[in-house]
Chain A
Amino acid sequence: MCLAIPFKLLSIEGNRGWVEIGATKREVNLILLPDAKVGDYVLVHAGFAISKVEEKEAEELLQILSTIS
């Protein structure tokens, strides 16, 4: 029920955004994420973008984890 998938934001028009899912595009509502920008990866849940996925944080975590032997 809390499933949310990261998709790339392709275009924005007011509160409406379009994300790329494989070969198709889907509309999402951006009202919960007013400062989303084209090119951002956003988590989509029940038609709403609820959070941005931070590239830097993802890279940092993977970097730390790679040191675990």
Chain B
Amino acid sequence: MKYVFEFRNQNLTRAIARKISQVAEKIGREVRLMEVCGTHAMAILKFGIKELLPPNVKLVSGPGCPVCVTPDEYIDLACTYARDGFLVATFGDMMRVPGSNTSLIREKSKGRKIKVVYSPMDALELARSLPMERVVFLGIGFETTAPGVAASISAAEEMGIKNFMVLCGHKLIPPAMRVLVEDPRVRIDGFLCPGHVSAIIGSRPYEFLVKNYGIPCVVAGFEPVDILQSINLLLSQISSKKIKVENEYTRVVTPDGNLKAKQLMEKVFNISDSQWRGIGVIKDSGLIISDKYSLWDIQARFPVKVSSSPEDRGCRCGEVLQGLIEPEDCALFGDPCNPYNPFGPCMVSTEGACNIHYRFGHKEDKIEAGN
């Protein structure tokens, strides 16, 4: 596949890994780099990147899995609408996320109308082709996904489709990064910035992390060569003390990103405070549907109250997605909590840190743990 295999070239990865070791030795202290995006976390473990890094370079997962940061209340709302007879259309990885006392997959087993779709446009097509159904699409995801949902709401307006609505749970990455660097417990020496979020918002929005906090930032692609080269650039910044926002993923990301996508988001959404599971409310970190499009906002049209009381079952996903602990540090990890019996969202979502660590295994820890 073009633009994929060239960036998996083993000679390149070895050469960059050697350079990383040289620079890391010069730095001579532990360096904690956070990959914000869950897709990066997946690629890092899938391609065995950690095994190529010197011991003083630590990679830490951030809150970049939109499923993991979705609060219980959102799942409870979605299940309530399903129980009220709405046809709930959702991305697949939301199905098994635990709410307070239910999940979409459990509601589906009780016969509720819940359908997995690949695109918000598929949900709009469902509404168009089933005029007697009231279709609600679960709008989850960061700036990579939000423009497509905005486009489907805008298309619904143009086509006069009124039985299509969205339960908006979109979140924005930069405000979450700000909260992480302001939390003294989370020690971050550099950010691997999310490549596809940046395809939309550009590399400029990370400048504040350099100016206000002096944190090196590199926008990274998702292949092994991209990730290693981005780590290489971060370490070079740390060693030279020349801190800036650098863009490794030049074939996709520009300073200003996708203007059309940003215009559509501004047209359909407003920015609001938002609740992040495990972190709490973050100022200006979420999107809500603007008044002009309230006809397609299910919470405006069919307001519903839920009382979310998540029982504390020892799940420490909140700390995992802030990089405070590794999944292996959680007492539930592996047994009883695993992808087949998930306790928390980070084990449910295929891009959750716990799920990835369980599936791809963290060979280093296994060797140290002697098993």
Binding site for B on A (CB under 8 A): 1-6, 8, 29, 31-34, 41, 43, 45-48, 50-55, 57-58, 60-62, 65-66, 68-69
Among residues of B, the one whose C-beta sits closest to the C-beta of A67 is: B15
- Supposing A31-B151, A61-B250 touch, asked if A1 and B65 sit within 8 A by C-beta, the answer is yes
5 additional contacts (CB under 8 A) given A31-B264, A48-B147, A50-B200: A1-B91, A1-B144, A46-B119, A50-B199, A65-B16
Report, as a range, how many residues of chain B touch the other chain: 35 or more
Considering the complex, which residues of chain B in the window 67-85 have a beta carbon less than 8 Å from any beta carbon of chain A? 67
16 A–B pairs (Cβ distance < 8 Å), ordered by A: A1-B39, A1-B65, A1-B67, A1-B141, A1-B142, A6-B2, A6-B3, A32-B258, A34-B260, A41-B3, A47-B118, A47-B120, A51-B252, A52-B252, A53-B3, A61-B251
Tell me whether B251 and A53 are in contact (CB under 8 A): yes
Query: Is the C-beta of B190 less than 8 angstroms from some C-beta in chain A?
Result: no
Q: Which 4 A-B pairs have the closest CB atoms?
A: A47-B119, A51-B199, A57-B251, A58-B251
The secondary-structure label for the interface of chain A is mixed
Tell me whether B39 and A2 are in contact (CB under 8 A): yes
Query: Is the C-beta of B214 less than 8 angstroms from some C-beta in chain A?
Result: no
Tell me whether A8 and B2 are in contact (CB under 8 A): yes
Tell me whether B225 and A2 are in contact (CB under 8 A): no
Among residues of B, the one whose C-beta sits closest to the C-beta of A55 is: B251
Tell me whether A45 and B225 are in contact (CB under 8 A): no
Binding site for A on B (CB under 8 A): 1-4, 6-7, 12, 15-16, 19, 37-39, 64-67, 91, 93, 118-122, 140-142, 144-145, 147-148, 151, 155, 194-197, 199-200, 225, 229, 248, 250-253, 258, 260-261, 264, 349, 351
Tell me whether A43 and B196 are in contact (CB under 8 A): yes
A34 to B264 Cα, complex, angstroms: 12
Tell me whether A6 and B4 are in contact (CB under 8 A): yes
